[in-house]
Amino acid sequence: MEELLKNYEEYLRHEQDASEHTTKNYMADLYQFSAYMKKTHAQIASGGKSALGKIDNNIVRGYLSTLFGKNNPASIARKLASLRSFFKYWIKQGAVENNPAKDVTTPKVPKRLPKFLTVDEVVALLNGPNAADILSVRDKAMMEVMYASGLRVSELVGLDIDSVNLGEGVLKVLGKGRKERMVPIGSKAQTALSNYLAKREELIGKGNNTKAVFLNRQGDRITPRSVERMVQKYLKDSGIQKEVTPHVLRHSFATHMLNSGADLRGIQELLGHTSLSTTQKYTHVSLDKLMDVYEKSHPKA
């Protein structure tokens, strides 16, 4: 199956333009399935493309049964999704007729409400980088832009210089599936970004004319992992006692917009969600907050 997996990985990277994170997770899941096949169905595993059709839903169910107790439902559901995507690709290539993972029931995944920061916590976090050195100015710009626009971290680090229109106060963002969208940013984010861009040349290495907006110390495009470490640093400095990733700034953006009366479909457009149902999870957060206020305030609650 090794060659089949490599072909699929090429498809993910170059045709689907999947993110590094998505590709890494899908391939890890598929190599785990491949190891299971070598152990339990060696003849099929070594049969190449012609043997793919011998993998049926009973084999897939048998594989999933080995995961229960070792993996949580969300992880198992993702591994099943990886298999469905893999076989869907090979159906398109004409190697198999049916998708053996399609009719296998997805484990019920408990709904988890998105974590978010309060407005006061966001203010404390954004006020963390207050020095005049280039890295502090860059860090403030990154966090201001994330909170002002609700960008994913991958979208933030993927911004290019020609994606920024400070005059109009908008960013051209390349989201999932290489879908472009225009996202507005507020005055504070515009100011922070303008301050950074005025000093950005300090990070460009000798002869390194990168088009990336946000650069690391070496003058290369900053990575999502570096952004995560940066956010953790300022969280610690601000004394916020919460487990927070950069994605929480995206959740906070959506939650605060909704609590302030923003239209759900407008938030969907800003976040780049394909489905409104994905955006609707923020209504649960808003409702929870409403119920909390009611219980604390109503004399008969």
Q: Where in the chain are the domains?
A: 2-92, 119-296
pLDDT score for 61: 94
**At residue 294, does pLDDT exceed 70?**
no
* C-beta separation of 115 from 246 below 8 A: no
Question: What is the pLDDT averaged over residues 50-68?
Answer: 91
Question: pLDDT over 70 for what percent of the chain?
Answer: 82
pLDDT of residue 65: 93
Q: What residues contact 128, with CB distance under 8 A and at least 6 apart? A: 139, 140, 143, 233, 234, 237, 238
| Predicted local confidence at residue 13, as pLDDT | 84
List, for residues 195-228, the tens digit of each pLDDT value: 999 999 999 875 566 899 999 998 899 999 999 9
Digit-coded pLDDT (tens) for 74-126: 889 999 999 999 999 999 999 889 999 998 988 886 666 557 778 888 888 88
As a three-state string, the secondary structure of 1-25 is CHHHHHHHHHHHHHHCCCCHHHHHH
Which fold does the domain 119-296 belong to in CATH? hpI Integrase; Chain A (1.10.443)
pLDDT of residue 87: 93
Cα 92–Cα 94–Cα 95 angle in degrees, nearest 5: 115
Predicted structure pTM score: 0.59
AA identity, residue 143: M
| CATH assignment of 2-92, among 1.10.260, 1.10.4190, 1.10.150, 1.20.120 | 1.10.150
Q: Which range among 1-5, 57-61, 118-122, 295-299 shows the weakest confidence by mean pLDDT?
A: 295-299
Alpha carbon 265 to chain centroid distance? Answer: 20
CA 10/CA 37 separation, integer angstroms: 22
Give which of 233, 252, 245, 224 is closest to 123, Cα–Cα: 252
| Residue 188 CA: distances (Å) to CA of 35, 144, 146 | 51, 7, 12
Q: Which residues are catalytic?
A: 152, 176, 247, 250, 273, 282
pLDDT at 74: 85
Mean per-residue pLDDT for 127-148? 92
> Which tokens hold the place of 202?
């300090």
